[in-house]
Chains A and B, each alone.
Chain A
């Protein structure tokens, strides 16, 4: 038994939406597409996305942090969406734990989306079936692709490598190590779905420089110095933050 999953490092995510757009580009053209849009170039564009990035502000001004929060199907171990499906169109693969929808059997009753506590399923009104993240199952086993590209499209697109893909049941995988070493956690543990996707927390990075260290002036330090003169002991998330 293995359970493939994503581990998303909120400390690295900059909210660029590259994962979401690359996901849509790959999947709308692949076996699980098209991810149809309504008025894509109009005033009120709507459409199906497997992956969405939300942005939250945490804390009170001026001590606030921005959390960019990518959310796609969690491929839960105890998936509540699978057991409620009346046709068996929604199923969890035994070999790798990926939750998929068989479009040919889906009647579009939307019951599975009601049973999902995370809101990770999206109904395609054009095709009349429920669609969701497939963990790029058509990429990760695709022998036509070079070995290093056999990963989900979102993982490949991430410029800050905030997304790790791997088998979380294998204690030696990169994903399991990241969960273990960087305090990975699950969303809504009380919902009882046992999601496989883990998040790594955003960490507070303190920059503490003594006076004499400020005489060394590489480019990065110059920008820090400017801020330090106005806010002593300012907390930074990391150097990428504005």
Chain B
């Protein structure tokens, strides 16, 4: 699939925003003694950054739409469409995330704040699941429609949110050993999950081919003409136009930036607060930059079934030598 910048930004930024809120609410509600004394600073800084990340992601997603002015209509079909469920849980989550620091500001009773916090955590998890199901539901892309997609969205989101939270807390001079240990566990979990995803995508087998697409019982089927003198929506939207070598270099970059470097940095965080600050910030920056590349890769690796009709199906389908030689932006050669 063609990686679209707005969707990559939405998934990374909103995912981190949800993760930050989950960390804030869990710390404030379930382990309140951790932030005794610095509670206002923690709630305001993490609350504000959660909102900022989420709204930046939402704003980016509007650029994906052809008609953003009626984007609100996306909530209408929540019974059937996962995109609609994503929009609904996005609304609920941002309401909870905005209300939470506000309730602290107006000194509302702790019980109400805890209820809003738990509702926000539930909405964040629902948002992770519906974002993931949106992709996992498309059964014509095997790289998306598998059991790894939902854990992928939840763990990567929580890890990036945790990385940003930890960096912000270190920046304010609050260095929790417990938080660092959680980050190491989450980072290692992400790395393991990503390794599984690599193995799955490398061995993915689609039990169909161009013979079935055209229903012709002959192994030698060659596309001679797409019927147009240049590209069109179906040749552009469903393929990234990148070669296998380019995809491999993107895989390696994302693996290092998003998973390995942050994990090493968290494990090596020194005890001195000013040095810890630098390590935590570097880890968060590397994680966000790496996830932007990783999410781009998620789209690039998606191999849609309809590519069969255009001889652009990667993997177990016959390739068209004419099309694979064509560079991006040059007209498709037509015989």
Contacts and interface: CB of A to CB of B under 8 A. Distances in A.
Nearest to A69: B214
Interface stretch (A184-192, A213-221, A226-234): A184-192
B71 interface: yes
Contacts of B74: 86-87, 107, 109
Contacts of A46: 230-232
A39 to B, nearest CB: 8
A157 to B, nearest CB: 15
Name B's interface SS. loop
Given A17-B227, A45-B229, A188-B213, A88 B221 contact: no
Interface string B47-82: 000000000000000001111101101111100111
A80 to B, nearest CB: 8
B252 interface: no
B73 A107 contact: yes
Given A49-B232, A123-B233, A59 B227 contact: no
Interface in A157-197: 185-191
B30 to A, nearest CB: 34
A123 B66 contact: yes
Interface string B226-266: 11111111100110000000000000000000000000000
B73 A114 contact: no
Nearest to B71: A107
Contacts of B207: 190
Given A46-B230, A86-B83, A115-B138, A107 B67 contact: yes
Contact of A88 (B68, B71, B77, B305): B77
Contact of A71 (B73, B232, B233, B309): B309
A54 B71 CA distance: 35
Contact of B230 (A45, A67, A69): A45
Given A108-B67, A129-B66, A122 B233 contact: yes
A48 B212 CA distance: 26
Contacts of B82: 84
Contacts of A17: 227
B233 A83 contact: no
Interface residues of A, number: 60
B81 A83 contact: yes
B113 interface: no
B40 interface: no
Interface residues of B, number: 55
Contact of A187 (B66, B215, B226, B233): B215
Nearest to B135: A114
B232 A59 contact: no
B98 interface: no
Interface string B131-162: 00010011011000000000000000000000
A96 interface: no
A117 B240 CA distance: 18
A30 interface: no
A52 interface: yes
B87 interface: yes
A128 B220 contact: no
A116 to B, nearest CB: 7
B34 interface: no
B190 interface: no
A119 B311 CA distance: 13
A85 to B, nearest CB: 6
B323 to A, nearest CB: 12
B45 interface: no
B236 to A, nearest CB: 9
Contacts of B94: none
User: Taking each of A43, A84, A87, A190, which has the highest tally of chain B beta carbons within 10 Å of its own beta carbon?
Assistant: A87
B110 interface: no
B331 interface: yes
Given A84-B137, A105-B73, A106-B67, A185 B215 contact: yes
Contact of B221 (A44, A56, A125, A130): A56
Given A108-B65, A114-B1, 12 more contacts: A46-B231, A54-B225, A54-B226, A87-B70, A107-B70, A108-B67, A118-B306, A118-B309, A186-B215, A187-B214, A188-B208, A191-B140
18 contacts: A54-B226, A55-B223, A56-B222, A56-B224, A57-B220, A59-B220, A83-B81, A84-B82, A86-B73, A86-B87, A109-B65, A113-B237, A118-B306, A122-B233, A127-B66, A128-B67, A187-B215, A190-B208
Interface of B: 1, 64-68, 70-71, 73-77, 80-84, 87, 134, 137-138, 140-141, 207-208, 212-216, 218, 220-234, 237-238, 304-306, 309-310, 331
Interface of A: 17, 20, 43-49, 52-60, 66-67, 69, 71, 83-89, 105-111, 113-119, 122-125, 127-130, 185-191, 199, 201
9 tightest A-B CB contacts, nearest first: A108-B66, A128-B66, A119-B306, A86-B84, A86-B83, A87-B73, A55-B225, A86-B74, A119-B234
